[in-house]
Amino acid sequence: MTDVQTEAGAAEADAVDHSPAADEVQPTVADLDREGDIAADYIEELLDIADIDGDIDIDTRNGRAYISVNAEDGANLQVLSKPETVAALQELTRLAVQNKTGQFSRLILDIAGSRDARQAELAQLVDRAIAKLDEGAAQASLPPMSSYERKLVHDIVSERGYVSTSHGEGRDRYTVITAA
């Protein structure tokens, strides 16, 4: 699949629901603080093993723990800041938290500004898709991405006055953009 694919026919859209499921228990601030502490300890151990310097910041917002790793001289952190690496480390960190708490974690890991960089890439991807729509395509499909990235895409698309829906299942779930 290319970065942006256009499709002439309209596909059946499934509803985008960014709200938590009714039966999903929302973590408390104390739960999120504990998740953040466990995650920070895990990441700190990993950085020590790899002999990589980094300052860890913990934040909670939007029902998630956010862990940011930065360094004054971020050169040695760059090896960990590639999107695939951050995603893998985030999953490992989530598993470490789940192992300690017994609860699923939705924490977000950012290494050396990787989240901002990825958001900028997603904005460019959305802009290319919108250009295809402006050229007459009925819709434009983006490649599969994580639920967090799809959420960012939905927000960017909405800001630009277009509509987006998610299609597919699991790791193959992707976003389709259409005119409003």
Per-residue model confidence as pLDDT tens for the chain (180 residues): 444 443 333 332 333 333 444 456 788 999 999 999 999 999 999 999 999 989 999 999 888 999 999 988 766 888 898 888 998 999 999 999 999 999 999 999 999 999 889 899 999 999 999 999 999 999 999 999 988 899 999 999 999 999 999 999 998 999 999 998
Neighbours of 164 (CB within 10 A): 23
Give the length of the chain: 180
Mean pLDDT of the chain: 85
Q: What are residue 155's DSSP bridge partners?
A: none
Q: Catalogue all structural domains in the chain, each as residue range(s) with its CATH number.
A: 5-15+116-179 (3.30.1370.50), 29-112 (3.30.300.20)
Closest CA to 166 of 5, 6, 11, 3: 11
| Each residue's pLDDT tens digit, 160-174 | 999 999 999 998 999
Distances in Å between the alpha carbon of 32 and those of 37, 47, 107, 138? 9, 22, 8, 42
